[in-house]
Amino acid sequence: MKLETTKYKDFIKTIKQKIQTSQIKAAIKVNEELLRLYWDIASMIVAKQKESKWGDNLIKQISDDLKKEFPNLKGFSKRNLELMRQWYNYWNSDEITKQIVSQIFLIPWGHNIAIISKIKNKQEAIFYVNKTIENNYSRAVLIHQIETNLYSRSGKPISNFETKLPSIQSDLAIQILKDPYCFDFLNLTQQHNKKELEDALMENMTKFLLELGQGFSFVGRQYRLDIKGDEFKIDLLFYHLKLYCYVVVELKATDFKPEFVGKLNFYTSVIDGEIKSNRDNPTIGILICKSKNNTVVEYALKDIEKPLGISEYKLTNILPDDYKSSLPTVEEIEKELDEFIDNKGISFEQ
């Protein structure tokens, strides 16, 4: 009997999704049990070293004995046992950190070591544990977020989200903002203009989305709005999959000016009026500029009704202002070709 193609594909897709979900849950469970084992071993080592005169030689002896007993198991090297002890002492040091111990079992061992090795502040460490769980960071991404100081950049830009959005949405909206946005993956001169900034971000869209954060889905660049014959273009338009709303992003390669807010407010109004469906939450506007005066921004947002946030961006890879690519532009190639054809008197007419 021949199966109906579409229905069968949907059916098998559902089965595959269930298998994948089960595999993920199993992997998480295995990781959790492994980390609980590490925690128990570390607590036993710490307790034994306190009650006896055994020093660090204890750890080497334990490592040797465990490797003899379990030759096919990895993770019991002297170095890893030392890391277990360090990890245990880090999180078992006070009541605040003890309360989130169950959370650290939900992220991989390598992630745990990256956090305790790079961060001294416990509240900051808790932040990265939770962000890893929420966003399923790989270890490379986690380290990148730590090195670009995501903790100090999250939820602290100036916005009116708290007063212009329902509380459930505003809390999450505030958390998706960063200040500054770190565009360390771009190579621009100090005197770059808006188009150069936008072009560079589009060429590095994957990294740009990573910096924006989980949930942003790209809709379009220079997104065209036609309002009864009048045309407008939004720099970048996104849809946020957790906030269930459109996000208008305007870029400015200059210092903040109050009039920027009016334009952003207008664009969010148009998206709400022309694009947004009844299922979508109110559109959010984000302005990312080169620098800003926070007091000026606060005044500019004071009587604005639409939910807007204002942030800066920073560049770490700044090229000299006289830098120019050694490769010619398309326009330069076309110009040289035209001059060559004119000089040689070449004609393409039959």
Closest CA to 178 of 220, 204, 149: 149
What is the pLDDT, as a whole number, of residue 1? Answer: 44
Show the low-confidence residues of the chain (pLDDT under 50): 1-2, 325-327, 348-350
Looking at this protein, which amino acid is placed at residue 245? C
Which residues neighbour 162 within 8 Å (Cβ) at sequence distance 6 or greater? 170, 174
What is the pLDDT, as a whole number, of residue 338? Answer: 66
Q: Exposure string (b/e) for 187-208, b if CB count within 10 Å is 16 or more?
A: bbeeebeeeebbebbeebeeeb
Q: Describe the chain by its helix, strand, coil percentages, rounded to 5.
A: 55, 15, 30
Which residues neighbour 201 within 8 Å (Cβ) at sequence distance 6 or greater? 183, 186, 208, 236, 251
Stated as kind and residue range, the H or E segment containing 341 is helix 330-344
Q: Does domain 158-319 have CATH number 3.40.1350.10?
A: yes
Spatial distance between the Cα atoms of 230 and 260, rounded to a whole number of angstroms: 19
Phi, psi angles (nearest 5°) of residue 174: -65, -40
* 212's tokens: 């924006």
Stated as kind and residue range, the H or E segment containing 171 is helix 167-176
Spatial distance between the Cα atoms of 105 and 89, rounded to a whole number of angstroms: 15
Looking at this protein, which amino acid is placed at residue 219? V
What is the pLDDT, as a whole number, of residue 153? Answer: 85
* 308's tokens: 């807007």
* 118's tokens: 């790079």
Q: How confident is the model over 131-189, as pLDDT tens digits? A: 899 888 889 889 988 998 889 887 678 999 999 998 888 888 988 899 999 998 898 88
Which residues neighbour 187 within 8 Å (Cβ) at sequence distance 6 or greater? 200, 317, 319
* Cis check: omega of the bond before 328, within 30 degrees of 0: no
What is the pLDDT, as a whole number, of residue 305? Answer: 93
What is the pLDDT, as a whole number, of residue 327? Answer: 45
Q: Which residue in the block uniquely carries the two structure tokens 């302005």?
A: 287
Closest CA to 211 of 263, 125, 147, 166: 147
Which residues neighbour 295 within 8 Å (Cβ) at sequence distance 6 or greater? none
What is the pLDDT, as a whole number, of residue 304? Answer: 95
Q: How confident is the model over 283-319, as pLDDT tens digits? A: 999 999 999 999 999 999 999 999 999 999 999 877 7
Q: Are 78 and 63 in contact (CB under 8 A)?
A: yes
Spatial distance between the Cα atoms of 87 and 91, rounded to a whole number of angstroms: 6
Report the predicted TM-score, pTM, of the whole model to 2 decimal places. 0.67
Domain residues of the chain, as ranges? 5-147, 158-319
How many Å is the maximal CA-CA distance in the chain? Answer: 99
